[in-house]
Amino acid sequence: MELMNDKREGRVRELTRKRMHDTEFQTIKTLTELQSTAGFEHNIRNYLRKEMTPLVDEVQVDGLGGIFGIRRHKDTDAPKLMIASHMDEIGFMVKAIKDNGLLEVTALGGWNPYVVSAQRFTVQTSAGDYPIVSSSVPPHLLRGKNSNTSIDVSDILFDGGFTSKDEAESFGVRPGDPIVPDVKTIQMANGKVIASKAWDNRFGTAAVLESLRDLKDTPLKSTLIAGANVQEEVGLRGTKGAVRKFKPDVFFAVDCSPADDMSGAKDANGRMGDGVLIRIYDPSYIMSREMRDYLLDTAESNNIPYQYYTSKGGTDAAAAHQLLEGIPTGVIAMAGRYIHTHQTLFHIEDYHAAKALLREIITTFDQSTLDTLTVK
């Protein structure tokens, strides 16, 4: 009988783990498949508002559209901890409609022009959302021509199947409408790696949201301000208004960074599957010694796998740490292969490591932590 009970309990634990994994993947799938490029983040904002409201004391939206859930400490003098992802993904904006119905665009965020052509997108108009495809030149039409000519993103047209400018306009298409990748999120064969669009930065929004869920009934030692900024991909714009609104004592950006491990080098910068990234440097942000030591101590004390990381690009931390009187700022990141394309690959264990680090920061942060992080 005891053996049967052990087996039954084992099956229950396995089913519980499976349900938790299914819930986790569904959150990732929902957030990555939602379409919200810079300046047009309403789909993600609406989802986060619905999901965060039962988990916090209050949800607030800043003037640009960043959304944050606030868990207030009973002590009004308790330090304010801000955890911020960004909800926008790279995309395009309609710049003009040609007479033949094709659309000229401008990029919203950084695109490699060689990965844009012949992909499926959605153009979001006031009248509705419609499928659209980025243009390409088939090899048959390149014969006898100089095929080494470089291309610019602005050279790529978008084709919604409209036969004229008038027809495109009759469906509500106008200059200023956003165009966003249309991709389904899938698990790869081993179940450990996921492919999706927009992991930069639905990683951050998922990690923040799941942290709020996991810690709903856990007492905190600070006032927590957790959510997502807007327009990070076009110049870290949303952070500035959000930080000025909430005036945090400490700021953590939660963001995805490019993996550079495809060669297989063991010392590659940003290795998928090797843990959370401790971003110590990028051209617009230098992690302080105090912040580095705090993050390393937190990770090592809790057996959280981590790796040092430097980058040529920036995060919201770059804007946040310069605001107010200067804010102690850190970055919690994970590596993704092929970011800023239709298909980013990422490892679920890196996501778990990032969430574990977030959990420790959120649950232990107090006045003594703030004192430790303050540059002397």
Question: For residue range 285-325, what is the model confidence (pLDDT) as tens digits?
Answer: 999 999 999 999 999 999 999 999 999 999 999 999 999 99
Q: Which residues contact 342 (CB under 8 A, 6 or more apart)?
A: 115, 119, 181, 183, 197
186 contacts 333 by C-beta, under 8 angstroms: no
Cα gap 212→27, rounded to integer Å: 13
Are 185 and 32 within 8 A, CB to CB? yes
What is the rounded CA–CA span in Å between residue 233 and residue 236?
6
* Cα distance between the two ends of the chain: 63
Q: Are strands 103-108 and 223-229 parallel, antiparallel or unpaired?
A: unpaired
Query: How distant is the alpha carbon of residue 327 from its chain centre?
Result: 22
Instruction: Identify the pLDDT of residue 21.
Output: 72
For residue range 142-190, list pLDDT tens digits in order.
555 665 667 788 889 999 999 999 999 999 999 999 999 999 999 999 9
pLDDT of residue 314: 93
How would CATH label the architecture of 91-181?
Answer: Beta Barrel (2.40)
Backbone angles phi, psi at 280, to 5 degrees: -90, -20
| Per-residue model confidence (pLDDT) at position 20 | 46
CATH top-level class of 23-89+197-373: alpha beta
Domains 23-89+197-373 and 91-181 share a fold: no
> What integer pLDDT is reported at residue 146 of this predicted model?
62
The CA-atom distances, in angstroms, between 182 and each of 22, 90, 130, 178 are 22, 12, 11, 12
Residue 103 pairs in a beta bridge with 97, 158
Pairing outcome for strands 193-196 and 344-347: antiparallel
pLDDT of the residue at 145: 60
| Nearest in space to 178 (alpha carbons), one of 122, 120, 128 | 122
The answer to whether the beta carbons of residues 201 and 86 sit under 8 Å apart is yes
Nearest to 358 by CA among 304, 307, 315: 304
Measured distance CA(130)–CA(245) in Å, rounded: 36
Query: How far apart are alpha carbons 282 and 315 in whole angstroms?
Result: 9
Q: Is 33 noted as a catalytic residue in this protein? A: no
What is the model's pTM? Answer: 0.91
Q: Domains of the chain: which residue ranges?
A: 23-89+197-373, 91-181
304 CB-near residues (< 8 Å, 6+ apart): 275, 276, 298, 353, 356, 357, 360
Q: What is the pLDDT of residue 282?
A: 95
pLDDT number for residue 140: 46
User: Which listed residue (41, 51, 89, 232) is catalytic?
Assistant: 232
Task: Tell me what pLDDT residue 39 has.
Answer: 97
Residue 353: both structure tokens together: 């490591």
Residues of the chain with pLDDT under 70: 1-20, 137-149
